[in-house]
Amino acid sequence: MPRFYARRRLSTAAAFSALIAAAALFNAPTASAALPTPVSGATARSYLAQLTVATENRTGYNRDLFPHWITQSGACNTREVVLKRDGTNVVQDSACAATSGRWFSPYDGATWSAASDVDIDHLVPLAEAWDSGAGSWTTSRRQSFANDLTRPQLIAVTDNVNQAKGDQDPATWMPSVSSYRCTYVRAWVQVKYYYGLSVDSAEKNALTGYLASC
């Protein structure tokens, strides 16, 4: 079942109102992040076997080298498009900012009702991509990677979970919801394969282990 969180203390009256609202949310359909469906486990295992194993190199990395949250359509940037895609009953204002909605984070099973509590995770982090070969890309290709809505690379998740993940790969970080791990590693391998990125040996061992049960 989804978990609901409040981030500030409420007065007694406000708390009562919040409980009523939470009950309505609890009985409503659970919002679900709409990550593009990753390749199958068998395909992911095939892709993983073809990835180059190499030592990572972060020399020269700067997040600004990956232009992100570019305009996608009208006033909407990439973050706003993903918030709309991954949420339920999302309302946006004239500037495309989400003013209401619900977002379910598959990494930790939490549901949020404020867009400010949600981050858009680069499933393969920008720093990890740099370490794995993106340092030699053009700025245009790095921009495409950082704003990719076609591959399973961008997903709305709980903000502090995304921050705890940081730039870690599956050897050191995985979603706490174990039932989502197969989806996560299939997506990870698909993105790395599509962009021709390498894996380090610990990362490959972890991916191999998780994919064995997918």
- SS3 of 17-78: the string is HHHHHHHHHHHCCCCCCCCCCCCCHHHHHHHHHHCCECCCCCCCCCHHHCCCCCEEECCEEH
Taken in order 85, 86, 87, 92, is the CA torsion positive or negative? negative
pLDDT tens for the chain, 214 residues long, are: 444 443 433 333 333 333 333 333 333 334 455 899 999 999 999 999 999 999 999 999 999 999 999 999 999 999 999 999 999 999 999 999 999 999 999 999 999 999 999 999 999 999 999 999 999 999 999 999 999 999 999 999 999 999 999 999 999 999 999 999 999 999 999 999 999 999 999 999 999 999 999 9
**Residue 98, both tokens:** 């989400």
Enter the pTM of the model. 0.85
User: 158: phi > 0 → left, psi -120 to 50 → alpha, else beta; which?
Assistant: beta
Which phi and psi angles does 170 have, rounded to 5°?
A: -65, -10
**Residue 88 forms beta bridges with which residues?**
102
- For residues 56 and 155, what is the distance between their CA atoms, to the nearest angstrom? 25
pLDDT of residue 33: 58
pLDDT of residue 162: 98
Taken in order 39, 56, 126, 117, is the CA torsion positive or negative? positive
